[in-house]
Amino acid sequence: MAFTLSSPPAASSTQLRAGLAVLFTAMAVTLAGCSKDAAEGGQRPAAEVGFITMQPQPLVLQSELAGRTTPFLVSEVRPQVSGIVKFRRFEEGSQVKAGQVLYEIDPAPYAASAAQAQASLANAKAAVDSARLKDQRYGELLAIEGVSQQDADDAKMAHAQAIAQVAQMQATLNSAQINLDYTKVRAPISGRIGKSTVTPGALVTANQETSLATIRTLDPIYVDMTQSSAELLKLRRLLGESGMKSGRARVRLKLEDGSEYDQPGSMKFAEVAVDESTGSVTLRAEFPNPKGELLPGMYVRAMLDQAVSTTAILAPQQGVTRDVKGNATALVLTADNKVEQRTLVTERAIGDRWLISNGLAEGDRLIVEGTSKVRVGDTVNPVDVGTSKAAAAESASGASEG
C-alpha cells in the first residue's frame, strides 16, 4: 500500500497561524506579569522593631567586697612580774571587764620588798628631822659667830641631802608597791577572754613572750574589706562626672551561709596606700555585734553605697551587643525612623541592665526588639514598648545586688 503526502487546505493553515499568535501573546503577557511581580518583590516592607525611650533616673551604685571580721580591741595578757601562779580567777571563754583580776601570782617576795622600802622611808624621814634641827641651831649660832661658816654650810647641806633621801626612799616604796600590785594580773580591756595557756602552779616571768590569755572586744566589731585600685580609680572618675555624688557611709553584710546580717554598719576609713602584693586598698567598717554573731576571722561579703547618680542612663542588656573588637554597641532610631549604630561605654551591669556613661542620652530611642531583622540605614516601623524609667524600681534593686 502506498501513502502520499499532500499540503493542508489553505483554511487550516490560516487557523494554525492565528492560534500560534494568540498563544505567543498570552505567554508575553504572563511573562510581563511575572517580571512585574518580581520587581515589586525586591522592595521589602519596613520591618517592625520595638524600642524604649531612654530617660535618666536616680541610682545608688553599690559595690560588693570580700572582707573578714576583726576584733575592735585585742589584748594579750602577760605578767609584769615573775613568780608562781597561785590562782586563776576567770572562766575560759567568758566575758571579762577591764580591771578584773585574772591571775594571782605569789605576792610574798614583793610584799617583803614593799615592807623593807617602807622601813627605809621611815628611817629617812627620821634623819630629815635630825638634820633640820641641826641646820636651825647652826643658823642661830652663826648669827652670834658661835660656829664657823663652814659648819653652818655643812649642816644646811646635810639637811638637803636628808630631804633628797626621803624622796628616793619614797620612790623605792612606790616601785615595790607597784610590783606587789602586779602580782594580781588584771584585764586591760573588757571583752571575751580565750583559753588560758597556764594553770595554777606554773612559773611565769615578767614580760614573757607567751601570753597568758587573749582578750578580744567583739561589740562593736570591725570588717576589713579589700577593693582593687583599678575599681577605686573608676569610682573616683565616676564621682568627677556631673550628676554623681558620694554615697552614704552605711554598709550591709552577707554572712558565709548567704544570710544577711541584720545590723547595718558604717564606714570608718580607707587605707592611704595600695598593697603592692595584691594591688588592692583596705577599707574598714564598724558593725554593732550585741548578740556575738560575728566572730573574729569570719569571711563576709560587704555591700556598700559608694556613689549616687541622679542622672543614670540604664540600657537593657538585650539592646546592647558587642562588635568584633569587644566594644559595646547599640541600635537607635533617628528622627526619621532610620536605624543608626552607636558605640557605648558601659560601666557596670546592674541587674539585667547596663549603666551607660557614654553613647546614649536622654530621649534616645533604643531598639530592644527585632534587632536581628534590621541593618544600619534601614527605615523601620517603630513600636514603643516602654521607657527606661519603667524599670526604675527593678534597676534600683539590681543596683543593690551589683
Range of lowest pLDDT (39-53, 290-304, 318-332, 387-401): 387-401
- Per-residue model confidence (pLDDT) at position 336: 92
Task: pLDDT band for 87, please (50, 70, 90 cuts).
Answer: very high
- Per-residue model confidence (pLDDT) at position 243: 55
- Per-residue model confidence (pLDDT) at position 65: 86
> What CATH code is assigned to 52-70+217-401?
2.40.30.170
Per-residue pLDDT at 172 exceeds 70: yes
Tens digit of each residue's pLDDT (9 = 90 or more) over 111-154: 999 999 999 999 888 888 787 777 777 777 777 777 788 877 77
**Degrees (nearest 5) of the Cα angle 323, 320, 318?**
130
> What CATH code is assigned to 107-182?
1.10.287.470
Nearest to 243 by CA among 356, 402, 393: 356
| 50 vs 20 pLDDT, higher one | 50
Q: Rounded to whole angstroms, how far apart are CA atoms 188 and 182? A: 12
- Which DSSP symbol is given to 273? S
Per-residue pLDDT at 41 exceeds 60: no
Q: Does domain 83-106+183-210 have CATH number 2.40.50.100?
A: yes
End-to-end CA distance of the chain: 105
Average pLDDT, the chain: 81
Tens digit of each residue's pLDDT (9 = 90 or more) over 364-375: 999 999 888 888
- Does 83-106+183-210 match 107-182 in CATH topology? no
Map out the domains of the chain as residue ranges. Answer: 52-70+217-401, 83-106+183-210, 107-182
Average pLDDT over residues 282-303: 91
